[in-house]
Amino acid sequence: MDNLETVAFQIISSVGSARSCYIGAIQAAREGRREESMELIREGKEQFVEGHHIHMDLLAKAAEGELDMGECGLLLMHAEDQLMSAEAFGILAEEFTELYALVHK
């Protein structure tokens, strides 16, 4: 496994891309571009899953005693915060897309 700092940045990068997709999806839905919105949500989910898998691998290594979680603690905390934020944006993007679909009927 790469060093903890690199892994944290991989998580941040993946879920940051996911969050950007989700925000774009909400904007597309607001403008009545439902298909584009749905595609951005799909793309965001792919990015989110990538970050989530990296995080789960990291947790598994820690549970197996192969990783000192004290190293880069603040950076890892930021990565986890970004992960949770992206997850919330994904949920909201799906809800807004459905809501705007009703508005644009």
Question: What are the catalytic residues?
Answer: 78
The Cα-based distances of 18 to 2, 62, 64, 71 in angstroms read 22, 25, 29, 26
* 99 close to 34: Cβ distance less than 8 angstroms: no
The two most distant CA atoms of the chain are separated, in Å, by: 55
The residue with tokens 């892994």 is 7
